[in-house]
Homo-oligomer: A and B are copies of this chain.
Amino acid sequence: MTNSRNLPQIKKMNWKVLDSRYVYDKKPYMVMREDSVELPNGARIDDFFVFEYPEWVGVLPITPEGNIVLIRQYRHGIGRVCYELVAGVVDPGEPLEESARRELLEETGFSCHTLFPWITASANPSTHTNLCHIFLARNVECLQQQQLDETEEIAVEVVAPERAKAIMEGGEMMQSLHLAALWKYFSTLEK
């Protein structure tokens, strides 16, 4: 059942870029450009900002017992410690799955045999060029200690599904990409 009220305009919704300039270029973490664009209806926006970030990966790791491996770290934008999924930036030329496996091992010490593509999403498709690719990893095992960068301080917690849900409901996990992956996971579990 679809009730589409103004579908004819869909095909010509794309904006035309009239001018584009980089206003910040600190690769790979902050590449920001300012576009002047014209909309199909003729309206113009002269200062539309776009962020050219690298691709991101994430992992939703499930233990053989059905528990979930979460991490906690300080997030400076909102100024507090949050629960999250393992996630990181894809290195140049690195396959997505390899990147996800690497991040899981580095940030938690857990390893997995098989990764399934779980959700691909954007933090903000309006302003970000990149996507985040989150994989589901079943039967993860703790193999080693974390191997963190100097600028990473990450605590690992293995939690039962009910506890993960309480964390999400209680506002202790704020990252929308991770919430999407976890709520999708809960939508697939038997109630």
Q: How far is the CB of A139 from chain B (nearest CB, A)?
A: 16
Q: What B residues does A128 contact at CB under 8 A? A: 77-78
- With A7-B155, A24-B23, A157-B3 given, is the CB distance from A15 to B74 under 8 Å? yes
Copy number in this complex?
Answer: 2
- With A131-B174, A151-B39, A153-B39 given, is the CB distance from A77 to B2 under 8 Å? no
Is chain A's interface secondary structure helix, strand, loop, or mixed overall? mixed
Q: How far is the CB of A54 from chain B (nearest CB, A)?
A: 14
Q: How far is the CB of A104 from chain B (nearest CB, A)?
A: 15
In the assembled complex, the Cα of A187 lies from the Cα of B183 at a distance in Å of 7
A153-170 toward B: CB 8 Å interface, digit per residue (1/0)? 101111110010000000
